[in-house]
Structure 1
Amino acid sequence: MLLTYRALKRRALAKKLAITTPNGIGESSYVRIGGIDQWISVRGEDRANPVVLELHGGPGASNHVFVPRTRAWERHFTIVRWDMRGAGKTFAAGGPEGQGEMTLDRVYADALEVTHHIRTRLGVDKLLLVANSFGTVTGLRLARNHPELYSAYVGTDQNIIGGGRDTSAYEALLARLAQAGKKKERAKIAAMGPDRSAWSAGQWSEYARTVVTTDPLTYDTMKTVVMRSLWFSPSHNLRGLRAYLKGMTFSEQLGPQAMTVDEYAEGTAFRLPFFVFQGESDVLTPPEPARRFHDDVTAPVKGFALIREASHFAAFRHPDRFLDLMLTKVRPVVTGAAAGR
């Protein structure tokens, strides 16, 4: 009965996703990027709209499962979704042995290749760079170094690692565990210490899981948004779901690498419009460090906004609110048109 309902739901969602407009585009395929086949989809109802390149989080957590939730975005933007090496259909195609070099530098180089591929494929000069969660680590670097390729940067679930200066999320987790009387779990996290650059991949993953499961709003979002999107994804059969989850585990090796990043040392000068839209109750990537970084940024245009009643995965829990921000704050800047839906 459960599988029958899943099949019916997936069929209905697939119908909802059909692009039927005359100037629309809906295509997906493997593209040779960085020496391996990587999965890229391009979807939108009007090719004349700004082109968005999404950088997904995780690491290894493809955004393709959220396409039904973000269908309305495709009326106003052409959205490029890319399964990075180690993620989603890219991982499914090559398996662990076919992912090549798993480093942040390699992911950065891949992102530049994807950017040039899309610019050529769609005949556009610049892409609108939208990064979420773990993808923001690479997103900041791309935006900082290549303003000639991107019309603006938008970060959500924005990571600010900052060379380990801010440990507020870690301290807040210890406090939640103490309040809940979870002495064993608190001792385990306390033993790891606040220096994330010293954590192993397993410790990094353990920390993330503990944060998610100890905050009611984040845990609810994980169940009702993330897991539900996975289960009913029209583009993932059961084998695809298994590959998706294995890819996330495989990609955990990138986590500790990111913990050595210092965004302030890399620079707060951006030569393109810069925006951060953060869940107001995010406990994984708290809004306060993201706001402080935004405030220190110099950019031609910049903006910061909180998404109410949202923790991590803010854009996917409230895709309508995120779209409103994109339409009122970002799209007018990149198109020169008046704001409005």
Structure 2
Amino acid sequence: MITKKVKASVLLFSFLFSSLTYSQTIQNKTDKVQENQIHEEQYIPINGIEQWVTIKGNPSKPIILFLHGGPGSPITPYIDVLYKGLEKDFIVVQWDQRGSGRTYGHNNPPEELSPDYLKAHPLTLKQMTNDGVALSKYLLKHLRKQKIILSGTSWGSALGVKIATQSPHLFYAYIGHSQIVNPNFTKERYSKLYKIAEDRKDDDALKILNTIGQPPYSSAKNSGMLYRVIKKYEKANSTPAPENWFILDPAYNNEKDNKDREDGDDYSFVNFVGDEKLGVQSMGASIDMMKDNLDFKIPFYLIQGEEDILTPKDMSKKYFEALKAPKKEYFLLPKAAHGFNQSVVDTQYKIFRSIRTK
């Protein structure tokens, strides 16, 4: 049993009751769902399990499929604040990936995570890539569209690159935010972080860094402690997101959904970083976009926070310059770090509306 949980929210961007399935088109101006708008929330069978997908927006417009970070941190409970403005011009699709949120909670999770459960239920990048391709094919058929705009954040950016390069014919373009190139923290990057702590005379951070030592780490706990220091410094140097972005939608703010998100965070985090004692292989250890994913058949857009330590600008810029695509653009945002803030979302909106879909 895991008695001391390691949160995926420390890793990346943190922010669901029974299956709810419905589709509405109504004319009541006081209702959230406007005339001629699609509004579907349901579990969809994807590669052997049912996965939670929400579809909202104008059915005559292009699809945007969002891939959340974590890997266990769905943003489904927050989209009416973040992306409501897109629903006039797009169909906005959110997906609680395998091991996350409502998808995790719907597929017979254990009451408490145990080494036996983790070993018997591994997450793999290949499996989740195949899930993303299968979902994309479903959306195109269900919504009668030709292609999709694919957008990935942090962990979702690693997944997005794999999906986009495996099945480029399904997509108009790919947009990566806080793009993962190689998530494996090196000794050089550790030394840079250590120097920041020394320069700031930050005894708390130095204690953590001295305790865990240099990477690589064999335990999820040590990885989580490292990310805690990173998040602290990113927060200090960046403009925060508006506070109302982190208020849960009431439909997702209940005991079951809250537990499913928390447990899915833990489960996915351990699978991402790995843990030798628990017998869990790291998904992140196999990721190196510089070796495997430099050839794009679709336009490629990259949004990079200048203060991002976890996926730093020197790595993303090197990757961006090396990759080949019919069109590519790089957006470096000052006072933005690894997560979302207003400048990140504004840039996403700008890119989505610039993409040719006809």
Letter in 1 for 2:35: T
User: Following the alignment from structure 2 to structure 1, what is the Cα–Cα distance between the partners of residues 341 and 204?
Assistant: 33
Q: 1:16 to 1:287 in 2, by over 3 A?
A: farther
User: Following the alignment from structure 1 to structure 2, what is the Cα–Cα distance between the partners of residues 299 and 276?
Assistant: 12
User: Following the alignment from structure 1 to structure 2, what is the Cα–Cα distance between the partners of residues 148 and 311?
Assistant: 32
User: Following the alignment from structure 1 to structure 2, what is the Cα–Cα distance between the partners of residues 17 and 104?
Assistant: 39
1:58-89 deviations in Å (ceiling 9; x for gaps): 11000113312221122222111000122111
Alignment of 1:239-318 (within 5 A): 239=255, 240-256=257-273, 257-314=283-340, 318=344
User: Following the alignment from structure 1 to structure 2, what is the Cα–Cα distance between the partners of residues 17 and 278?
Assistant: 37
Aligned match for 2:182, one of 161, 174, 189 = 161
SS in 2 for 1:314: coil
**What is residue 17 of structure 2 aligned with on the other side?**
none
**What is residue 176 of structure 1 aligned with on the other side?**
196
Query: Which deviates more, 232-241 or 52-61?
Result: 232-241
Task: Say whether 1:50 aligns with 2:62.
Answer: yes
CA RMSD across the alignment: 2.8
Task: Say whether 1:29 aligns with 2:42.
Answer: yes
Q: Is the 8 A contact 1:66 1:316 kept in 2?
A: no
- TM-score after normalising by structure 2: 0.78
Shift of 1:216: 3.2
User: Following the alignment from structure 2 to structure 1, what is the Cα–Cα distance between the partners of residues 201 and 251?
Assistant: 42
User: Following the alignment from structure 2 to structure 1, what is the Cα–Cα distance between the partners of residues 83 and 141?
Assistant: 25
Shift of 1:164: 6.1
Aligned match for 1:185, one of 205, 221, 237 = 205
Letter in 1 for 2:67: L
**What is residue 4 of structure 1 aligned with on the other side?**
none
Gaps of 5+ in 2: 1-28, 111-116, 274-282
SS in 2 for 1:79: strand
- TM-score after normalising by structure 1: 0.81
Q: Is the 8 A contact 1:162 1:264 kept in 2?
A: no
Q: Is the 8 A contact 1:204 1:255 kept in 2?
A: no
Task: Say whether 1:134 aligns with 2:155.
Answer: yes
Aligned match for 1:40, one of 53, 58, 62 = 53
Letter in 1 for 2:33: I
Task: Say whether 1:63 aligns with 2:75.
Answer: yes
Aligned match for 2:232, one of 195, 198, 213 = 213
User: Following the alignment from structure 1 to structure 2, what is the Cα–Cα distance between the partners of residues 243 and 29?
Assistant: 16
User: Following the alignment from structure 1 to structure 2, what is the Cα–Cα distance between the partners of residues 306 and 299?
Assistant: 19
**What is residue 339 of structure 1 aligned with on the other side?**
none
User: Following the alignment from structure 2 to structure 1, what is the Cα–Cα distance between the partners of residues 268 and 133?
Assistant: 20
User: Following the alignment from structure 2 to structure 1, what is the Cα–Cα distance between the partners of residues 39 and 297?
Assistant: 32
Aligned match for 1:201, one of 214, 217, 220 = 220
1:309-337 deviations in Å (ceiling 9; x for gaps): 32122366642332123323xx2xx325x
Letter in 2 for 1:212: K
Letter in 1 for 2:98: R
Shift of 1:199: 4.0
Query: Which deviates more, 32-41 or 210-219?
Result: 210-219
**What is residue 251 of structure 2 aligned with on the other side?**
235
Gaps of 5+ in 1: 1-14, 337-341
**Would you tell me which structure has more helix in proportion to its own residues?**
1
Task: Say whether 1:20 aligns with 2:37.
Answer: no
**What is residue 86 of structure 1 aligned with on the other side?**
99
Aligned length: 311
User: Following the alignment from structure 2 to structure 1, what is the Cα–Cα distance between the partners of residues 35 and 346?
Assistant: 21
Aligned match for 1:96, one of 96, 109, 116 = 109
1:85-116 deviations in Å (ceiling 9; x for gaps): 22111122235349944222221121122112
User: Following the alignment from structure 2 to structure 1, what is the Cα–Cα distance between the partners of residues 203 and 69?
Assistant: 30
